[in-house]
Amino acid sequence: MPIQGLVKTRDSLVPRFDRLEGAHIALALLAGTYSLETPSIGASLVFSVPGKVSQMRFGVVDENDLSSEQRNVFDEIASGPRSIVPRPFKIMLEVPEIARTVSALGTVLRYETSISDRLRELAILVVATECHSGMEWDGHLPIAVRHGATLDDLRIARGDMEAPADSEVGFFLDRARELARTTTVEDPDGMIQRVGKRATCELVGLVGYYRLVAMYVKMGGIDYPLPDVAMPE
Q: What is the mean pLDDT of residues 103-113?
A: 96
* Neighbour count for residue 185 (Cβ, 10 Å): 19
How confident is the model at residue 208, as a pLDDT? 98
Q: What is the mean pLDDT of residues 157-172?
A: 91
Judge whether residue 59 has pLDDT over 80.
yes
* Spatial contact of 149 and 124, defined as CB atoms under 8 Å apart: no
How confident is the model at residue 28, as a pLDDT? 39
Judge whether residue 27 has pLDDT over 80.
no
pTM: 0.78
Beta bridge partners of 45: 36
Alpha-carbon distance of 96 to 69, in angstroms, equals 7
Which comes out higher in pLDDT, residue 27 or 180?
180
Judge whether residue 112 has pLDDT over 70.
yes
Domain ranges of the chain: 20-110, 116-219
* Strand 34-36 relative to strand 52-55, pairing: unpaired
Helix-helix angle 197-219:134-146, to 10 degrees: 140
Q: What is the mean pLDDT of residues 40-67?
A: 60
pLDDT digits (tens, 9 = 90+) for 79-97: 999 999 999 999 999 999 9
Which comes out higher in pLDDT, residue 40 or 69?
69
Torsion angle (degrees, nearest 10) of CA 90, 95, 96, 100: -80
Q: 2-6, 64-68, 131-135: lowest mean pLDDT where? A: 2-6
How confident is the model at residue 61, as a pLDDT? 87
pLDDT level of residue 166 (50, 70, 90 thresholds): confident
Q: What is the mean pLDDT of residues 54-69?
A: 89
pLDDT digits (tens, 9 = 90+) for 186-220: 999 999 999 999 999 999 999 999 999 999 999 99
